[in-house]
Chain A
Amino acid sequence: MAGRRKFGAVGVACPLLVTSRDGELLILQPWAIETSGLTKAFGDFCAVKDVTLRVRRGAIHALIGPNGAGKTTLFNLLTRFLPPTAGTIVINGQDVTTLAPAEIARRGVARSFQISSVFPHLTAHENVRVALQRDLKTFYQFWRSDRSLAVLDARADALLESVGITAFAQTRAADLPYGRKRALEIATTLALDPSILLLDEPMAGLGMEDIEKISDLVVSVAQGRTVLMVEHNLRVVARLCSTITVLQRGEILVEGAYDDVSRNPAVIEAYMGQGHA
């Protein structure tokens, strides 16, 4: 913990100093995501208030809190789907506070949505391929045949296989069972090869069996990546996440490892009191 605090303090204030002293590049950006004073107000209502959040590179970090705590709003701020009222967002050491959402995505931040988000009338294969298409840089070329996209087919198939839905490659996304839809969503997200994954309630609406599968999937895709996830299923959080941040009414209530957080009286009262205490 002491080491972490040191990185945190130095990392924010003057990251270059650390590099020059230790000569280690790793220390330059120990945080994949850093926000400071992040605030979003809708009129008088403050959905996110002065949030200073740091997500360690390579971690699976959970964001939990009761309904209306501002978790999804925070996600929307991090991906710039919403502009913040105040505060800054630094991703991989770069200030991205004023960038456009598509630009954030191109910087390696991929997000999923609370409600499964696929392209319903495209097949599973096409869903993944349209994400892969970004690499080809031909996406504005309306005069070029779509036969040129065939070079992506092998990669698309490989991604579908990695999430175990090869059999559904030619099925329209709208016709997929819900668990498969979520798997497809993850495959599409992985097509971007992001360094940071933001998952908004990946287990929502899934049955026990699917939760198992998607949990395994999250663990495997987290290899070499940073994952920040909003999740209500605390068993999943306990199993997957190294750090937990609890939000309440738009503010950070407490942060730490699962055991510390779950014993915290404020947390029990605010959140886990609903049947968990």
Chain B
Amino acid sequence: MASASTAVPSRGASHTARRAALVAAAACVALVAPFLLYPIFLINVLCFALFACAFNLMMGFAGLLSFGHAAFFGGSAYVTAYAAKAWGWPAELSILAGLVTGGGLGVVFGWISIRRQGIYFGMVTMALAQLVYFAALQAKFTGGEDGIQGVPQRSALPMLDLTDNRVMYFYALAVFLAGFAVIYRTVHSPFGHVLRAIRENEGRAISLGYDVPRFKLLAFALSGALSGLAGGLKAIALQIATLTDVEFTMSGEVVLMTLVGGVATLTGPVVGAAVVVAMLTYLAAFGVWVKALQGIIFIACVLAFRRGIVGEIAAMLERSRQT
């Protein structure tokens, strides 16, 4: 945190203090939440928040809009679920397998798609994700329409009883924070700076001698691995991996979460995930209408507040500071 104040001297101490206050507030919310709200709902939020943050690493910070992120999330959920159930791996190792799967898929997707621009890039990622969906549908180990259910929640650390929902919540929180820390560092790293430059002006970045495809590929691998981490966590925490996780709508949902929360903000996807998951959970009684509502929110976001919730708040704070 101190680095921010030295790097941007104009913002000064008040900025650092405000940030510390925000972090403290978020910590309080995270600690108290499982005692006020249904832990399973919160676990769901954490999984999708991590997924959306991983997606945003590519969309927000590298300028690559992928329509195929469900493949990383869902594919990894299957691998984790299978490792835990069929091979009896402990949760940590299974989730790690998910992460590796996501990263591997990210490299493959990236390698095939990054030489295409804009909509063509999006279409290639979507087509590849459909291939993964088809594989999940046809393969024996995924359990077809049933998916893999009843995934055991057995930690390598014997004192952790993951079957307790509150313990599971804090476990998920720890995984989320680890993933979030990696994203934070990536954004604020030498690599992150070049990535931002590529997003801003790709031609210029090339003319500065940067091997743009390699940066994109690394961003893809990181985003895939972290999406895989989210998918693996989801498989353990909710004890299930199904076709829903790997379906095209999941790729769309993560775009929505990121847009609602705020593209290219660190915390936006977390807020967006909370909003969307809350909607899906608490408005489930309205059935199909939830989808319509989702569509309306999507349109409102794109038309009226493009910066998303966190983005708009940040812009407001920026304006108030200047005046």
Query: A-side interface residues toward B, CB under 8 Å?
Result: 79, 81, 100-103, 105-106, 110-111, 113, 117-122, 126, 129-131, 133-134, 136, 138-150, 170, 188, 192
Contact = CB atoms under 8 A, between A and B. Distances in A.
A68 B7 CA distance: 46
A184 to B, nearest CB: 11
B200 A148 contact: no
16 contacts: A100-B211, A102-B206, A102-B211, A119-B196, A119-B204, A130-B196, A131-B208, A134-B210, A139-B193, A142-B222, A143-B185, A150-B6, A170-B8, A170-B10, A188-B208, A192-B209
A192 B208 contact: yes
B68 interface: no
Contacts of A141: 189-191
B152 interface: no
A113 B190 contact: no
A139 to B, nearest CB: 5
Contact of B189 (A81, A113, A146): A146
Given A113-B204, A117-B201, A142 B185 contact: yes
Interface residues of B, number: 31
A111 B193 contact: no
Contacts of B222: 142
A121 B209 contact: no
B186 interface: yes
A148 B3 CA distance: 11
B204 A117 contact: yes
Contacts of B186: 142-143
A217 to B, nearest CB: 19
Nearest to B212: A102
Contacts of B197: 119, 122, 130
Nearest to A129: B193
B210 A139 contact: yes
Interface in B93-126: none
Contacts of A81: 203, 206
B189 A145 contact: yes
B283 to A, nearest CB: 36
Contacts of B18: none
Contacts of A136: 190
B209 A102 contact: yes
B93 to A, nearest CB: 22
A106 B209 contact: yes
Given A106-B209, A122-B196, A140-B214, A148 B204 contact: no
A79 to B, nearest CB: 7
Contact of A105 (B189, B194, B206): B206
A119 B189 contact: no
Contact of A133 (B194, B204, B206, B214): B194
B208 A130 contact: yes
B218 interface: yes
B192 A142 contact: yes
Interface in B183-236: 185-186, 188-194, 196-197, 200-201, 203-204, 206-212, 214-215, 218, 222
Contact of B190 (A102, A119, A126, A146): A146
A146 B200 contact: no
B206 A101 contact: yes
Contact of B200 (A79, A120, A131, A145): A120
A151 to B, nearest CB: 11
B248 to A, nearest CB: 29
Given A100-B211, A105-B207, 13 more contacts: A102-B210, A110-B208, A113-B203, A129-B193, A133-B193, A139-B190, A140-B218, A146-B188, A147-B3, A149-B193, A150-B7, A170-B10, A188-B204
A105 B209 contact: yes
Nearest to B219: A142
A131 to B, nearest CB: 5
Contacts of B210: 102, 134, 139
Contacts of A149: 190, 193
B207 A79 contact: yes
Contacts of A170: 8, 10
Nearest to A121: B200
A144 B208 contact: no
Interface string B1-43: 0010011101000000000000000000000000000000000
Contacts of A140: 190-191, 214-215, 218
Contact of B194 (A101, A118, A139, A143): A139
